Amino acid sequence: MTIEHNSARCCFRNPLGAVKTGEYVMLRLRAENPDIRSVRIKTFFYNESAEYPMFRGANLWEKRITVPETPGVLWYFFIIETTQETLYMGPPMGHTQGEGVIYHQPPASFQLTVYDRDFDTPEWFRGKTMYQIFPDRFKRGNPENLTRGAAYHRAMGRTVVVHESWDEPVLHEPVNGAPFYSPCDFYGGDLRGIIDSIPYFSSLGVGVLYLNPISEAASNHRYDTADYKNVDPILGTPEEFRELCDKAREAGIRVMIDGVYSHTGSDSLYFNKLGNYPSVGAYQSDRSSYYPWYTFHGSRDSYQCWWGFDTLPEVNEQNPVWQNDIITGPYSVFSYWKRLGAMGIRLDVADELPDNVIELMRTAWKADNPDRVLLGEVWEDATTKESYGAKRQYALGRGLDTVMNYPFKNAVLAFLQGHSTADELANFLTSQRLNYPLPMYHALMNLLSSHDEPRAYTVLASGLTGDGMTREEEASLVLEEEQLKSGRARFKLAGALQFTIPGTPSIYYGDEQGMQGLKDPFNRAPFVKKDPALAGFFSELSLLRKKSAALSRGGVSFAALAPDTIGVLRYIADGRDAFGAPAQDEYVLTIINRSDRAFSAVLDLSVFSDTLPPHDRFTLNNLYLESADMLSGDGTVCLRSGRHIIAAVGALNYGVIRLR
């Protein structure tokens, strides 16, 4: 019995991918068996379900469904009645997209994301190269900042360990007989050092600088905010931040700050548990103007904390006083950073901010300039994320512009370590393309490393992540030359994929120089220029992306070319890019070969056409190639016929090819 539905193919679902509220989608099922009496589609949307009869054509059953006017995720599967039994078709177990599977009981469902029809993301941000900086560890620009800042914090009784040398290892053990490790060591990286490095960022093709927290705080990571409206004195001054924004903008770069709004530090202007600030904090009195920010349980020493850490009192984001102080008021934290020139906010632990608060943030942040960006820290697929008993709405067009794409990192590193196949990676990448609203998909922060994750180079070289290791074991890790060579080659493959798929490729400071390190704090070592050739590789990819309209704003299709080899086709067809804007036709094929053997094959471009929209599929299938040029990588290509090419890519290498 032949029964078929594939949510990634336009002949079964049109349009492909997420759809806007109130639009329609055509769903089809191929069923050639005459014993089938009827087919129905069962849908689920929040707490409602419905069934729709499908209409039979020649071997195809079809039904056009109008999606709801409310953003959400519509789920569906098929009920197939035969003369003998009732069958069901849903996605493969553990998946929400792809080739349907027959079941004998109600299955999981295919995902159809419905997003707000008015949703868009700032065009300037989509496709730009991002550079993430952990400020204390990037570059010393003015040594006096560290001297003054350390004295300021010590005067409050805070422990401050100053590294005299940039080359000293990071602190990873308790100091001064303390019972626990504390992130209290400082190298003196500052805003002046970042300002002085703008030419370096330009050489990498950077368009967005994302800074981990820079507001005053007791720790080196500064996620324990002490004063939202003051730059930490170790980093410099608010005036220097304004200067950074101005000079970066002159170089075509915009600055994104890290917004830590689900909690503050207990040692802060607002809570003031230690009495270090002249203000009356919430801990000190219920008459404090900040008292409504927090939730106390009967006494001042019993309060709601972030994940149980009493140094991080949690705020009540629904409180109107907090909302006015942070988001909406004329003297709010949002207004303060707007005036200084920030063009983006990355929301720390976005899952812990209520959806209505994120929507309020979106409105306030973009009120006078819709080009400002709101990016969220989300570790899973943001379209189906559930937290605190609620289905999250922030990826459906009324909240976040985009999110950190940790699932991309996980999938790429798994593939390059041999834990998954090219087919599995292609299916994952296709699923992301289908699940996310188009504007968000082209703005996803596609990272390989971050301040919360081991550096990708080290993972690919060692196969380790730091799990199950002590800090001493991580600190003493030394990789052999062969491991480093293999890790470097695989890291370059990860970068090639990162820069040739849709989204915003993000470089974690020093990754481009081959920096290593497993978990925090070893992934936060001081920046060093140790591998200029690797930095040149990332510069080349960034420049290539900037020059190619297909790579920066074209459509995409993914295909497994062999178990160890994946292909990515970016394209602009009939003079329009992925958003329908005018652009010159261009086809760019990237081939990633993780094998230790060279890849060589005759490629039929039709392997990419199945997952394209009907018009683009037609254009590709009728494309007659006249030439092909290598743009980057260790590969060769020559024309064989109008729709076939011979491609050869070296072992552990890649090729970026323009098809003409």
DSSP letters spanning 6-40? BTTSTTTEES-S-EETT-EEEEEEEE--TTEEEEE
**Bigger pLDDT: 22 vs 603:** 22
pLDDT at residue 379 tops 70: yes
Instruction: Report the alpha-carbon angle 543-547-553, nearest 5.
Output: 110
pLDDT at 57: 83
Across the chain, mean pLDDT equals 96
pLDDT one-digit tens code per residue, 402-458: 999 999 999 999 999 999 999 999 999 999 999 999 999 999 999 999 999 999 999
Tokens encoding 343: 């063009």
Task: Work out the average pLDDT over 584-611.
Answer: 93
pLDDT at residue 559 tops 90: yes
Band (pLDDT 50/70/90 cuts) for residue 473 is very high
pLDDT at residue 509 tops 90: yes
Rounded Cα–Cα distance for residues 210 and 100 (Å): 40
pLDDT at 433: 98
Band (pLDDT 50/70/90 cuts) for residue 640 is confident
pLDDT at residue 641 tops 90: no
pLDDT one-digit tens code per residue, 341-358: 999 999 999 999 999 999
Band (pLDDT 50/70/90 cuts) for residue 660 is confident
Q: What is the pTM of this model?
A: 0.97
pLDDT one-digit tens code per residue, 95-128: 999 999 999 999 999 999 999 999 999 999 999 9
Cβ-proximal residues to 399 (8 Å cutoff; 6+ apart), any chain = 355, 358, 359, 362, 374, 376, 393
Neighbours of 625 (CB within 10 A): 16
DSSP structure class, residue 128? P
pLDDT exceeding 90 applies to what percent of the chain?
91
Q: Which residue is listed with tokens 């990016």? A: 375
Burial class, 595, CB count within 10 angstroms (exposed 0-12 / middle 13-18 / buried 19+): middle
Task: Work out the average pLDDT over 38-57.
Answer: 96
Rounded Cα–Cα distance for residues 452 and 520 (Å): 7
Q: What are the residue numbers of the active site? A: 348, 377
Band (pLDDT 50/70/90 cuts) for residue 1 is low
532-547 vs 481-500: helix crossing angle, rounded to 10: 10
Cβ-proximal residues to 168 (8 Å cutoff; 6+ apart), any chain = 187
Rounded Cα–Cα distance for residues 243 and 252 (Å): 14
pLDDT at 614: 85
Task: Work out the average pLDDT over 181-204.
Answer: 98
**Bigger pLDDT: 432 vs 603:** 432
Beta strand ranges found along 136-239 (DSSP E)? 161-162, 185-186, 206-211, 215-217, 225-231
pLDDT at residue 626 tops 80: no
Band (pLDDT 50/70/90 cuts) for residue 623 is confident
pLDDT one-digit tens code per residue, 226-264: 999 999 999 999 999 999 999 999 999 999 999 999 999
Rounded Cα–Cα distance for residues 116 and 586 (Å): 30
Rounded Cα–Cα distance for residues 401 and 55 (Å): 38
DSSP strand pairing (344-347 vs 254-259): parallel
Closest by CA to 656, choosing from 444, 469, 527, 495, is 495
Task: Work out the average pLDDT over 266-271.
Answer: 98
